[in-house]
Amino acid sequence: MHDTLFLFGATGDLAQRYLFPSLLRLLGDGLLPEDFKVRALALSPHDTEAFREILRPRLQQAMPMASQDDIHSLLQRIDYRSVDLRNPDSVAESVSDLVDRHCVSYLAIPPGLYISTCEGLAKGGALAAPHRLMLEKPIGSDSASAEQIISTIGQWIDEDRVFRLDHYLGKAAVQNLIALRFGNTLLEAVWNRNYIESVHILVAESEGVDGRDAYYARSGALRDMVQSHILQLLCLVAMEPPASLEADRIRDEKVKVLRALRPLTAKHAARDSVRGRYTAGTINGQPAQAYQPPEGSDVETFAGVTAHIDNWRWSGVPFHLVTGKRLAERTTRVVVTLKPVTHWLFERPHRRNATPNRITFQLQPQENIELGLMSSLAGPEWGALELHPLELELSVPTGLHRRIAYERLFLDAFNGNHALFVRDDEVRAAWAWIDSVSDAWKEAKLPLQPYPAGEWGPREATGFLPADAEAEADAAHGGQA
């Protein structure tokens, strides 16, 4: 197990809110080496003691149940260096004294700084074997920039020592998709085009762009969320059973899904996608301002895309991918709608009004599985001629000791387990499809559709949303009319 962490971007929000608290919990649970060390690196001109005093209240706020002894122990393992990440010599000097240990470098910094930082790490000896490198998403902003980052860093470190993070893959609920799919005959038997009519993947946020204006003005919802989190969920839902749970066998199957995605064309852009941007509205009874991007920015805060996977298992099955900011609620869910029964026997409801069977995997904010069936709820005098929807909720027991995503990802990187990390060919395949969507939007001049903060996106999005969200959206739009 590697015993030294170089944490670049140590003064940033990600490091202070998630990374250091994750290390604190791992330390408290006795899962880190006895002589574990952290070197915190950022541009700010602090010394070690000043940085520890900045970090202490953040740890106490993030982990109120942590003991003061654990907080003190972690802080004593951390030292701080001010570093200019645009200067490879500055980076090299900041790490060279610790490269006799087994080191992991974590880059919680903008992707535009990856190459210069890694050049410095290579100069300082921190990318030579057996040292490892962890990279936060996004890897670039399109295929060309991703390729530049991958190929340039590949000159200094082997692929089997690179760990590219998408923190969604570290979530227990997301990992559970693999267990549910491949550990249950009931699902395995119907998991194909013969029984499944459509799949909806929704990642909705009630928060706005607040605090990420500079990044978001360059990325938008498509590059920020669809390219990473949503495509990862798509892969787990759609991939073929891997030969084993070995990291590369899982990643092989994910890449096959991404390569089978049909590129979006300008001809079908308006039919198969929608873009939106939130205007002023109301969230939980509180007024919310409209998103005002910098002059000249055309980015969307809502993206809906219907993806088609051109392979034997999924031919003809639409995958509706939706994400947005300032939506009606914060939720991540996968909704699988099954085809209707082949022969309808019942008087009521009429066949066309029957609610289809649905399997809903609720991933956040709570973790649930819901199974929607049709059942006779009438008294015995009515017989079984009238059916009603029956929702079976399979709640995940509360009180489980579930690690947050970064804890699991840290442990796997320190131990060299790649299963929950993204391989280079996976990054390339994901960007190739995202670029097709972006290019189709530009060529078709697909307009941005406005939607009030607190609703389920623009009116044009209802065909892309899961049934319950679509019903709420239709009601809201009807009320406006």
Q: Which residues are catalytic?
A: 229
Beta carbons of 197 and 319 less than 8 angstroms apart: no
Using the CB atoms, write b or e for 324-353: b if 16+ within 10 Å. Answer: bbbbbeebbbbbbbeeeeeeeeeeeeeeee
What distance in Å separates the CA atoms of residue 85 and residue 117, rounded to the nearest whole number?
Answer: 5
Which candidate, 55, 140, 43, places its Cα nearest to that of 85? 43
The neighbour count for residue 417, using CB atoms within 10 Å, is: 15
Sign of CA dihedral 133, 136, 141, 143: positive
Q: Enter the DSSP assignment of 23.
A: H
Q: Phi first, then psi: give them for residue 292, nearest 5 degrees.
A: -120, 90
- CA dist 273 and 43 (Å) reads 41
Which pair of tokens denotes residue 440? 């189709």
- DSSP, collapsed to helix, strand or coil, labels residue 233 as helix
Q: Which helix (H) or strand (E) holds 372?
A: strand 368-375
| 261 vs 315: CA distance, rounded Å | 11
- H or E stretch covering 262: none
Any idea what the Cα angle at residue 379 is, between residues 378 and 383, rounded to 5°?
75
Q: What secondary structure letter does DSSP report for 447?
A: P
- Structure tokens of 150? 């991958």
